[in-house]
Structure 1
Amino acid sequence: MTSPTTLPRPSAILWDLDGTLIDQTAAIIRAYAEVVTALGYAKPDDVVIRRSLGGPMVSTMSLFVGPEQIDAACKAFRIRFPQIMFDGLIVLSGGMELIERAYKARIPQALFTNKHGDTARQVSRYTGFSKYIPSCIGSSDTEWNKPDPKLTEYALSQIDADSEGAIIIGDSPTDVAVALNAGLICYGVATGAHSIDELLEAGALAAYPSLLELANTIIWNSESITPNP
């Protein structure tokens, strides 16, 4: 499977955060390990954690903790993670450049993540994304989580954008499912735990090794795209 060498200008961009714009894996894995082992369970596998990221926290936690302790584990994670979340944080190459290019092209953008909303906004301010993308929507901000299309519709409404021509940029099959459920297009980047082939097989219209390649593929002065039926 191959991806297009040129992509037309989107009408709006919904950005995934973890694995797409930033690598916060070291702190995430550490927090899961500390919480899970403190409850008496075996240390979770790093690879399993990585590949589960993108979905709701409860989905990842349920891989390692019994149902009777899920709530306690999630609460403990929300306390511990903010204490260490900037340790080892990496802004992925090409992310800020693409954000700035879209900003200069007057394309509405939003950060759109299953990360806890307050945490996501702290990360956005820390990295400088908030300078260009004031809208940041996390898992605690509504009653919905990705890939529920109601959350996607809400995110678009926050930036006064329609679904027609809008894209989602993400690194996981969850991001692809978000797009498919809402009738949007997903451009994948293999910057997280999933390969280009996995993203294309999941239904991404295009997938690239990095955000730099994606940025250089978009024709910024072209007509807006129309989603596939």
Structure 2
Amino acid sequence: MTAATLLTAPRHPAAVLWDMDGTLVDTEPYWLRAESDLVHAAGGVWTPEDGLQLVGSGLERSALILQSRGVELSVEEVIATLTDRVREQIADAVPWRPGSRELLRELKDAGIPTALVTMSRRHMALDIVAALGFDGFDVVVAGDDVQNAKPHPEPYLTAASQLGVAIEQCIALEDSEPGVASAVAAGATVFALPLHIPLPPSPAYLLRDQVPTLADLTAVLA
């Protein structure tokens, strides 16, 4: 390969780190349904606006808020109940976000490592990974794998460490404010892909309205 070829060759990220709920899959309506059923069964009120306030949050925080609305279960019982109900809905239909599987396939064909970084529980994340139909992720970091949930940087730092790459050479894909904050704090280049809740423009991340392509990622790095 000549020096000129090296200069013009596309620069690929060391890895691409994916959020799950809202980024890879549009499961937020599934979570809202599960939350609403749980609160209503306890005699409380839960609106779509309430559910949107939890987008991107760790499940422990969500459980505490549901308890404040009258749910008389422990934090772990709330988390288990919500997760089971969302998994049941996923078993009927996986709501892939448009472009997500296509980008994953591009990354795998290009030999670029990938990680799924989610605050959902590991067994649910593995359901989604299995539903892809191909080996889409090299690493899965779930909410029960870390001490600190998003917006703390630990989830993304953990993913980069497990992949053996520098976080500063990674691209992260996120849809929520806590998730974007986590990836930015970790040091990744961040594509913010809001779906149900708008995000403001910011020099800290790249705001897009749809899942990018590999060409979009390499263009940013160039």
**Structure 1 length as normaliser, TM-score?**
0.79
Offset at 1:33?
A: 1.3
The whole-number CA distance in structure 1 between the counterparts of 2:188 and 2:217 is 16
Offset at 1:92?
A: 1.3
Task: Select 2:104's aligned residue among 56, 74, 99.
Answer: 99
Task: Select 1:117's aligned residue among 119, 122, 125.
Answer: 122
Offset at 1:156?
A: 0.9
2:16·2:172 contact (CA, 8 Å) conserved in 1? yes
**Larger CA deviation: 109-118 vs 158-167:** 158-167
- Structure number, greater radius of gyration: 2
Which digits, 9 at most, give the CA deviation of each residue in 1:177-221, with x for residues without a partner? 11222122211113x2222xx2534x5421111114x5442337x
Task: Select 2:64's aligned residue among 62, 65, 81.
Answer: 62
Aligned to 1:23: 26
Change (3 A) 1:74 1:57: same
2:192·2:206 contact (CA, 8 Å) conserved in 1? yes
Q: Which amino acid aligns with 1:41?
A: G
3-state SS of 1:21 partner: coil
3-state SS of 2:127 partner: helix
The whole-number CA distance in structure 2 between the counterparts of 1:215 and 1:200 is 22
1:163·1:183 contact (CA, 8 Å) conserved in 2? yes
Structure 2 gaps of 5+ residues are 1-9
Offset at 1:13?
A: 1.1
Aligned to 1:13: 16
1:27·1:86 contact (CA, 8 Å) conserved in 2? no
Change (3 A) 1:199 1:186: farther
Offset at 1:51?
A: 4.2
Offset at 1:8?
A: 5.8
**Structure 2 length as normaliser, TM-score?**
0.82
The whole-number CA distance in structure 1 between the counterparts of 2:93 and 2:87 is 13
Structure 1 gaps of 5+ residues are 1-6
The whole-number CA distance in structure 2 between the counterparts of 1:51 and 1:107 is 34
Runs ≥4 in structure 1, deviation > 6 angstroms? none
Q: Which amino acid aligns with 1:217?
A: D
Alignment of 1:144 with 2:143, yes or no, is no
The whole-number CA distance in structure 1 between the counterparts of 2:181 and 2:193 is 15
Number of aligned residue pairs: 210
3-state SS of 1:144 partner: coil
User: How large is the Cα RMSD of the aligned pairs?
Assistant: 2.6
The whole-number CA distance in structure 2 between the counterparts of 1:165 and 1:208 is 20
Change (3 A) 1:25 1:86: farther
Task: Select 2:197's aligned residue among 191, 194, 209.
Answer: 194
